[in-house]
Structure 1
Amino acid sequence: MTVTPEQLRDLASRAEALTAEVRALCVGAQNGTPEPGHLTTARQAAEWLARGAADLELAAEDLARLQTPPCAFRWGVCPEHGNTLSSKAGVSECRVCRRTWTYNRLDQPCGEPVTWRVIDRAGTETQMCDGHVLGARAAAGGATFARLDAPIGQP
């Protein structure tokens, strides 16, 4: 059986609903009296459910990232700021956010997850990551940019 990010998100949603239900039950059962031990245990279970829901969301994100093909550009960029890297002595740094990589990222294939579909004026489609799309927006006049996770017909 193949697990999908959607299945994990559904489980997370159900765990969040159970968390809310258990918390509401505890509030309703307490009625201003000192909290009995079983309510303390139920509240603790609600916290475990909440942590489980958060972990399932993270697992869904991780799985989606693993299933997304990597950006195939032959040079790296800052994932947040695009073509803002400088390299010195084998270490790359973004000139905007100062994030560093312990290798010369400019000389390595990008590898960031593909998030955009770009179609130039000639109709050629290229898929690229967030960082590379920043440079493409500045250089590719007349191109169409669409996020891969956007509904069809929406940028």
Structure 2
Amino acid sequence: MTVTPAHLHDLASRAEALTTEALTLGGGPPEGDYLAVVQQAVESLARGAEALRRAAADLAELQAQPCGMPWTVCPEHGNTLSSSAGISTCRVCRRTWHYDRLGRPCREPVTWKVIDRAGTETRMCDGHVLGARAAVEGATFLRLDEGGAGVRL
């Protein structure tokens, strides 16, 4: 079985549900450390759920195929970056990156498959597909799902 971020998110949700259920336990036998043991279990489950969520995010980042286009764009607005003194800024949202994104290959995750009229397939991120939609007439744009299959939009 291949572990995916979705599997880890599911495990984290189940751990959170167990945490909630354990919190409702109370009124155990008056003798012994029953409540202290339950509290320790609740804290362990909560830590485990958080660790699973972090692991899911880390795994998703490791599995993400980078766009790789020879220049970087704003992930939300496309080719709207300007760069000065080593700081890149989106001219639309004003988001900044403290390095020159214009001179580096794009590291945003691939989210689209674009097929031009000649049948050439190019995979690209959300930001690059904005420019491609305006520039590539007659192309087919397929949004990729988690498994990498195209979904026609």
Q: TM-score, normalised by structure 1?
A: 0.76
After superposition, what is the alpha-carbon deviation per residue over 1:18-57, rounded to whole angstroms, capped at 9, x for unaligned? 123213334xx48xxxxxx744653564354234323312
1:33 alignment partner in structure 2: none
Q: Distance in 1 between matches of 2:37 and 2:76?
A: 43
Corresponding residue for residue 121 of structure 1 = 117
For 2:92, the equivalent position in structure 1 comes to 96
Out of 72, 75, 80, which is 1:79 matched to? 75
| Residue pairs, 1:20-31, within 5 angstroms | 20-26=20-26, 29=27
Residues 1:140 and 1:23: Cα distance change in structure 2 (over 3 Å): farther
- 1:134 is aligned, of 122, 125, 130, to 130
Indicate the structure with greater helix content: 1
Residue of structure 2 in register with 1:16 after alignment: 16
Shift of 1:139: 2.0
Give percent identity, aligned residues only: 67
Q: Which moved more, 1:65-74 or 1:93-102?
A: 93-102
Question: What is the letter of the counterpart of residue 14 of structure 2?
Answer: R
Match of 2:113, SS state, is strand
- Partner of 1:86: helix, strand, or coil? strand
Contact 2:143–2:151 (8 Å) recurs in 1: no
4+ residue segments displaced more than 4 Å: 150-154
Look up the SS of the partner of 2:76 in the other structure.
coil
Rate the CA distance shift 1:25–1:121 in 2: closer, same or farther, 3 A. farther
Give me the whole-angstrom Cα distance separating, in 1, the residues matched to 2:15 and 2:25.
15
RMSD across aligned C-alpha pairs, in angstroms? 2.8
Partners of 1:143 and 1:107 lie apart in 2 by 27
CA apart distance, 1:10: 3.4
Residue correspondence of structure 1 range 56-75 to structure 2 within 5 A: 56-75=52-71
Provide the aligned length of Structure 1 versus Structure 2: 148
Distance 1:121 1:47, change over 3 A: farther
